[in-house]
A and B are shown apart, each in its own frame.
Chain A
Amino acid sequence: MKRMKKTLALLLAAVLCLGALAACGDSGSSGATANTTSGGTDTGSAGGNPVFKLGGTGPLTGGAAIYGNAVYNAAQIAVEEINALDGVHFELKFEDDQHDAEKAVNAYNALKDWGMQVSISSVTSKPAEATSVEAYNDRVFSITPSASSTATTEGKDNVFQMCFIDPAQGTMAAQTIARLNLSNKVAVIWKNDDVYSAGIHETFLTEAAAQGIEVVSDTTFADGSDTDFSVQIADAQAKGAELVFLPMYYQPASLIFAQARAAGYAPVWFGVDGMDGILTLEGFDTSLAENVYLLTPFNAWGTDARNVSFVEKYQQRFGDVPNQFAADSYDCVYALKQALDAAGCTPDMSNADICSAMLAQFTSMTFDGLTGTGATWDGATGRVSKNPLVVVIRDGIYVAAD
Chain B
Amino acid sequence: MSFLSFLISGISLGSIYAIIALGYTMVYGIAKMLNFAHGDVIMVGAYICFYAVGHFHLPPVVGVLAAMALCTVLGRVIERLAYKPLRSAPSLAVLITAIGVSYFLQNAALLLWTSNPKVFPNFFGREAVGPDGQAQLLTGVELFGGQLRISYVTLVTIVVCLVIMGALSLFISRSKLGKAMRACSEDKDAARLMGINVDTTISLTFAIGSGLAAVAGVLLCSAYPTLVPTTGSMPGIKAFTAAVFGGIGSIPGAFLGGLLLGVIEILSAAYISTQLSNAIVFAVLIVVLLVKPTGLLGKAIREKV
Instruction: Answer whether residue A86 sits at the interface, using C-beta atoms and an 8 A cutoff.
Output: no
Chain B hits for A254, CB < 8 A: 117, 119, 225-226
Q: Indicate if the CB atoms of B266 and A284 lie closer than 8 Å.
A: no
User: Least Cβ distance of A234 to chain B in Å?
Assistant: 6
Q: In whole angstroms, how far apart are the Cα atoms of A258 and B224 in the complex?
A: 9
Q: In whole angstroms, how far apart are the Cα atoms of A281 and B116 in the complex?
A: 7
- CB interface residues, A 214-241, toward B, < 8 Å: 219-228, 230-232, 234-235, 238
- For B, the interface residue count at a CB cutoff of 8 angstroms equals 40
Q: Indicate if the CB atoms of B110 and A232 lie closer than 8 Å.
A: no
B119 closest partner in A (C-beta): A283
B234 is contacted by which of A223, A230, A238, A283 (Cβ under 8 Å)? A223
B274 is contacted by which of A220, A224, A283 (Cβ under 8 Å)? A220
Instruction: Answer whether residue B169 sits at the interface, using C-beta atoms and an 8 A cutoff.
Output: no
Among the 9-residue stretches B5-13, B97-105, B160-168, B296-304, the one with 4 or more Cβ atoms under 8 Å from chain A is: B5-13
- A-B complex: 8 closest residue pairs judged by Cβ atoms: A283-B119, A230-B9, A227-B224, A224-B234, A219-B274, A231-B269, A284-B119, A231-B270
B residues sitting closer than 8 Å to A (CB atoms) are: 2, 5-6, 9, 12-13, 50, 54, 110, 114-121, 139-140, 146, 149, 151, 223-226, 228-229, 234-235, 237-238, 265-266, 269-270, 274-275, 277-278
Q: Indicate if the CB atoms of A282 and B278 lie closer than 8 Å.
A: no
B12 closest partner in A (C-beta): A228
Q: Indicate if the CB atoms of B228 and A282 lie closer than 8 Å.
A: no
Q: In whole angstroms, how far apart are the Cα atoms of A94 and B267 in the complex?
A: 50
Chain A hits for B265, CB < 8 A: 225, 228
- CB interface residues, A 33-81, toward B, < 8 Å: 62-66
Supply 18 further A-B pairs (C-beta < 8 A) apart from A227-B235, A232-B269, A251-B117. Answer: A62-B110, A63-B115, A220-B275, A224-B238, A225-B277, A228-B9, A228-B266, A231-B6, A231-B274, A235-B274, A252-B226, A254-B225, A262-B139, A281-B119, A282-B116, A282-B119, A283-B118, A283-B121
User: Least Cβ distance of A66 to chain B in Å?
Assistant: 6
Q: Indicate if the CB atoms of B54 and A231 lie closer than 8 Å.
A: no
Q: Indicate if the CB atoms of A258 and B225 lie closer than 8 Å.
A: yes
8 A-B residue pairs with Cβ-Cβ distance under 8 Å, sorted by A, are A192-B275, A220-B275, A225-B269, A231-B274, A234-B2, A251-B117, A255-B226, A262-B139
A residues sitting closer than 8 Å to B (CB atoms) are: 62-66, 192, 219-228, 230-232, 234-235, 238, 251-252, 254-255, 258, 262-264, 280-285
Q: In whole angstroms, how far apart are the Cα atoms of A283 and B235 in the complex?
A: 22
Chain A hits for B146, CB < 8 A: 264
Q: In whole angstroms, how far apart are the Cα atoms of A280 and B229 in the complex?
A: 17
User: Least Cβ distance of A131 to chain B in Å?
Assistant: 22
Chain B hits for A192, CB < 8 A: 275
Q: In whole angstroms, how far apart are the Cα atoms of A122 and B274 in the complex?
A: 35
Q: In whole angstroms, how far apart are the Cα atoms of A226 and B13 in the complex?
A: 11
* Given A192-B275, A285-B119: A65 touches B270 (CB 8 Å cut-off): no
Q: In whole angstroms, how far apart are the Cα atoms of A115 and B229 in the complex?
A: 38
Chain B hits for A230, CB < 8 A: 5-6, 9, 266
Chain B hits for A252, CB < 8 A: 226
Chain A hits for B275, CB < 8 A: 192, 220, 222
B281 closest partner in A (C-beta): A225
Q: In whole angstroms, how far apart are the Cα atoms of A290 and B270 in the complex?
A: 28
Q: In whole angstroms, how far apart are the Cα atoms of A145 and B237 in the complex?
A: 36
User: Least Cβ distance of B242 to chain A in Å?
Assistant: 13
Chain B hits for A251, CB < 8 A: 117, 226, 228
A280 closest partner in B (C-beta): B116
Q: Indicate if the CB atoms of A263 and B149 lie closer than 8 Å.
A: yes
Chain B hits for A284, CB < 8 A: 119
Chain A hits for B269, CB < 8 A: 225, 231-232
A223, A225, A238, most chain B CB atoms within 10 A? A225
Q: Indicate if the CB atoms of A255 and B225 lie closer than 8 Å.
A: yes
* Given A65-B115, A230-B6, A230-B9: A262 touches B149 (CB 8 Å cut-off): yes
User: Least Cβ distance of B248 to chain A in Å?
Assistant: 20
Q: Indicate if the CB atoms of A231 and B266 lie closer than 8 Å.
A: yes
Chain A hits for B266, CB < 8 A: 228, 230-231
Q: In whole angstroms, how far apart are the Cα atoms of A235 and B271 in the complex?
A: 10
Q: In whole angstroms, how far apart are the Cα atoms of A234 and B266 in the complex?
A: 12
A238 closest partner in B (C-beta): B2
Q: In whole angstroms, how far apart are the Cα atoms of A222 and B117 in the complex?
A: 18
Q: In whole angstroms, how far apart are the Cα atoms of A271 and B265 in the complex?
A: 26
Q: In whole angstroms, how far apart are the Cα atoms of A65 and B238 in the complex?
A: 28
B151 is contacted by which of A220, A224, A262, A280 (Cβ under 8 Å)? A262
Q: In whole angstroms, how far apart are the Cα atoms of A284 and B118 in the complex?
A: 8
Chain A hits for B12, CB < 8 A: 228
Q: In whole angstroms, how far apart are the Cα atoms of A252 and B228 in the complex?
A: 12
Q: Indicate if the CB atoms of B270 and A234 lie closer than 8 Å.
A: yes
Q: Indicate if the CB atoms of A262 and B9 lie closer than 8 Å.
A: no
